[in-house]
Amino acid sequence: MDTIELLKNHRSIRRFQARPIEADKMERILECGMRASNTGNMQIYSIIVTQDKANIETISKLHFGQGSSAAAFLTVCVDVNRYHHWCRLNGCDEPYDNFLWLMSGTVDATLAAQNICVAAESEGLGFCYLGTVMYNTKAIAEALQLPKWVVPVVTLCLGYPDEQPALSERLPLKGVVHHEYYHDYSDDDIRDVHRIREEFPFNQEMVRQNKTRNLCEIFTKIRYPRKDNTAISKALLQFIEEAGMMNNE
């Protein structure tokens, strides 16, 4: 399968075979991650590879049971700690403990993670991004023994697939791509670009089972309600400050 077809046929995998990932294959995948573009070629990120079964169980619990059958968890972190250490050794300032570098590191970590994902699928592996890294950031950091200036931002569970789920729906290009300038959406535009999701059989069944008025209410009332967003945001901001990444004076 060529790269275009590989990307267009991506499926999130949540059930994995009881089969370890070969060491040479894992190394190739990680090397692909490290070849990703990044800010100033500084590579302000680190990747924590979890493969011990007991540790996988611990990390899986912090992601609400997701990935429990995976062969590995990869936690990609913003890492200013390593760069600051280098700065100290060279008698230089340590100016990267702020919001700018939290954002830059988050972008770099995500680019590395996506390279890893493409390489993993090309090697016959499956993966799933776990957004729950933002829900339990402090506990995950403690479990992985992350020092100050290191913030987990992306978690992948990885392994040989034990399922072949259907392709998920995606918005059409016209719903996402803007040519030359941002084109704000009319009511008709919004209805049109979201129609594919609202008519998707799985989503219609979710609406029926949850007895909501529509698919939008699934997201705003059940999956990601305001009270959860607010509580998680406060906890995340508190951890980021504790990690030393909000020195914006």
Report the CATH number at residue 134: 3.40.109.10
In angstroms, the CA 246 to CA 219 distance is 30
Number of domains in the chain: 1
Residue 35 belongs to what domain range? 3-165
In angstroms, the CA 38 to CA 105 distance is 8
Q: Is residue 129 part of a domain?
A: yes
Model confidence, pTM? 0.94
Q: Is residue 110 part of a domain?
A: yes
Residue 202 one-letter amino acid: F
Q: Is residue 83 part of a domain?
A: yes
Q: Is residue 101 part of a domain?
A: yes
Q: Is residue 182 part of a domain?
A: no
Q: Is residue 188 part of a domain?
A: no
Give the SS3 label for residue 246. Answer: coil
For 136-160, write each residue's pLDDT tens digit. Answer: 999 999 999 999 999 999 999 999 9
| Cα 64 to Cα 61, 138, 206, 217, 221, distances in angstroms | 5, 15, 20, 23, 20
Q: What is the mean pLDDT of residues 89-100?
A: 97
Q: Is residue 122 part of a domain?
A: yes
Q: Is residue 46 part of a domain?
A: yes
For 199-238, write each residue's pLDDT tens digit. Answer: 999 999 999 999 999 999 999 999 999 999 999 999 999 9
pLDDT at 248 over 90: no
How far, in whole angstroms, is CA 206 from its chain's centroid?
Answer: 24
- Residue 247's contacts (CB-CB under 8 Å, 6 or more residues apart) are 97, 98
Q: Please tell me the predicted confidence (pLDDT) of residue 60.
A: 98
**Average pLDDT, whole number, for the chain?**
97
